[in-house]
Chain A
Amino acid sequence: MSTDPDNIDSIVNRRYEHGFVTDIATDTMPPGLDENVVRAISARKKEPEFLLEWRLRAYRQWREMQEPDWAHVHYPPIDFEAISYYAAPKSDDERPKSLEEVDPKLLETYDKLGIPLHERARLAGVAVDAVFDSVSVATTFKERLSEAGVIFCPFSEAVTNHPELVQKYLGSVVPQRDNFYAALNSAVFSEGSFVYIPKGVRCPMELSTYFRINAANTGQFERTLIIADEGSHVSYLEGCTAPMRDENQLHAAVVELVALKDAEIKYSTVQNWYPGDENGVGGIYNFVTKRGDCRGANSKISWTQVETGSAITWKYPSCLLRGDNSVGEFYSVAVANNYQQADTGTKMIHIGRNTSSTIVSKGISAGNAQNAYRGLVRVMPQADGARNHTQCDSLLIGKNCGAHTFPYMEIKNPGARVEHEATTSKISADQLFYCRQRGISEEDAVNMIVNGFCKEVFKELPMEFAVEAQALLNVSLEGAVG
């Protein structure tokens, strides 16, 4: 990363230096977690009774759960009592007033990534209204969406305006006690996105477009729920190629997708949270639970992710293929440089008949990083005609990094067709010299090889992001060789 490590580091860790109770005491809860905190969060958001009860159940279950230790990652124990579980978004007074107040290194990175000028301010946390007015554009989008009957709003707004949908679907894919971090998220989540696409509607635009203009600061415990009703279609993009600043070290998001009969959800992620400096200091812990439920026949859920950020990534976007003929896809590029650790992969659970899944995972390790693919393909006894194809490739840059593959297969139907291919390759000194002898600089050569390695995944991204993702990879691997 070319962003100034000291500067970002200080931002990331600021809370730890000064303690959690900042000067806007009324909007930030003291560190620690008990039932009162859960009640206070729910009250602060004026939530209905059912949601408070739901949170409390999650909290009680979380209390009895153990932090998982099976992932191939190492980090010091997290003190959950030292975290503040609610902070209102920053007021405009606290934020930079213009790009001139923003760290020039950060701006340099935006430049390399080709981030449009009007977006840089928002990404750098500049008080948006002080810089440009995106309201008119956002309003146009909002009108188009509401004409189509699409609901797309902050999670808390959905709780207020569409409680019946929230109550019906929340936790129906990722139950509260699914895992330690999902339980924690269920108890204390404060914000996120909610999407509902009505029957037969093809969402008139990529929700990314809207998202990028209108995104609020994402929270530490984000909750996303997307429901595609029968015969509907939606493409959603989360995240951003630009390095995002965040003050919270621990992130534990939950994303639930529900695809009913004949519906299709395409969910793309570009994740570039602060990875820590080149010595592995600082950086975000990203412990995410993402799962899609192909609930109806002929439904399809496709996950595409480009993961370059975070000190530790622990993430397995999965598909429950319940409907007959349903399709699950997972396309992933995970980059780990310096001291980053990534343990990521997917789970494809074949339940319905003639279900099929595709897994394409590309892991890139550089520096001292450790990159693990962990994937499960499970075919249930009733899943006649299930098919899976898994391709899992690792690319190593340098001598001190590692790639690990943990494929699990549980096949309980003898008719299933399951294929697994794996390769490990290395960018060799010979390849680099060959490219240099052809006039191509070492850095360009690495980029060329890496992008070639990832192209199967990039082509699954919405086009504008494919270009950005490519630039992002180049920046992430800067200085990885030589």
Chain B
Amino acid sequence: MLEINNLKATIGTTEILRGLSLSVKAGEVHAIMGPNGSGKSTLAQVIAGHADYEVTDGTVTYKGSNLLELEPEERAREGIFLSFQYPVEIAGVNNAYLLKASMNAKRKHQGLEEIDAFEFLKLAKEKMALLGMDPKFLNRGVNEGFSGGEKKRNEILQMAMLEPSLAILDETDSGLDIDALRAVAEGVNSLRTPERAIILVTHYQRLLDYIEPDFVHVLSEGRIVRSGDKSLALQLEEKGYDWVREAATG
């Protein structure tokens, strides 16, 4: 589904990704771990197409085509979803309205009719119940006055509604209490299907207790320095990131 080869990216004059390669297939869950500043969030932003980052080398192929040629909205319509680390507030724009506009943009791209208002509401309520969200959230401004946990649940709600092919969850666990974490993880787990790939970007192993990855990659200084199965995450937890860093340089 996603093939990243020797990817280099800069922000301003600083090179953040320095030759990163990663292969993700449908049905797989990959965890990207690493210390602060290792480039985890940059990777997520580059895949989503954020304009602040410049790709200077390497290739990214998504569903067989060159992803880097697409605008952010085209990537989204092609099934890439990014759950933001810090979801923005958009005052005055109704949460349901954004969600519906988003679904319809994708449906239009797929040559489908706009979603029926009744059907939309039914689906949204169903997904919200699953995430333990109050249906009132639909009528509030997008993330307006939401707590950290509410914002993250809202991201997962959007993901559940949009049914992406490739979901990237950027630090979804940060700032969540244990109940919220559990609800979010359940939401994500319910979206694990053989057709869908998920990339979890996380600093801590904690999230992986709830969402079990197929692969764990450790990022350091813009490169993947170690890959393994979920036991690698546990090793990291025990030995700390210095262990990988030493391994990488030593």
Contact = CB atoms under 8 A, between A and B. Distances in A.
A434 B102 contact: no
Contact of A440 (B82, B87, B101): B101
B243 interface: no
Contacts, number: 71
A435 interface: yes
A272 to B, nearest CB: 23
A430 B71 CA distance: 15
Interface string B93-109: 11001100110011001
A438 B155 CA distance: 10
Given A433-B50, A433-B51, A438 B90 contact: no
Interface stretch (B59-67, B72-80, B114-122, B191-199): B72-80
B48 A452 contact: no
A433 B72 contact: yes
A452 B88 contact: no
Given A433-B50, A433-B51, A448-B97, A438 B92 contact: no
B84 interface: yes
Contact of A438 (B91, B141, B162): B162
B158 interface: yes
A376 to B, nearest CB: 27
A395 to B, nearest CB: 9
Interface in A424-448: 425, 428-431, 433-442, 444, 448
A434 B95 CA distance: 13
Q: Which size class do B's interface residues fall under?
A: 20 to 34
Given A449-B93, A452-B94, A436 B76 contact: yes
A428 B92 CA distance: 14
B152 to A, nearest CB: 14
Contacts of B97: 448, 452
B141 A452 contact: yes
Contact of A431 (B51, B82, B90, B158): B90
A425 B89 CA distance: 11
A429 to B, nearest CB: 8
B98 A448 contact: yes
Interface residues of A, number: 21
A204 B151 CA distance: 49
Contacts of B71: 436
B84 A452 contact: no
Nearest to A433: B50
A425 B90 CA distance: 10
A453 interface: yes
A455 interface: yes
A434 B90 contact: yes
A473 B149 CA distance: 35
A440 B102 contact: yes
Contacts of A436: 49, 71-73, 76
A452 B105 contact: no
B90 A449 contact: yes
A448 B93 contact: yes
A439 B92 contact: no
Interface in B156-187: 158, 162
Contacts of A438: 76, 98, 101-102, 105, 158, 162
B216 to A, nearest CB: 25
Nearest to B75: A437
A452 B139 CA distance: 12
A438 B101 CA distance: 9
12 contacts: A430-B88, A433-B50, A435-B98, A436-B49, A437-B72, A439-B76, A439-B102, A440-B102, A440-B105, A448-B93, A448-B97, A453-B92
5 smallest CB-CB distances across A and B, nearest first, come from A452-B92, A439-B105, A439-B76, A438-B102, A452-B93
Given A436-B49, A439-B77, A455-B92, 17 more contacts: A434-B84, A434-B87, A435-B98, A436-B76, A437-B49, A437-B76, A437-B84, A438-B98, A438-B102, A438-B105, A438-B158, A438-B162, A439-B73, A439-B102, A448-B101, A452-B90, A452-B97
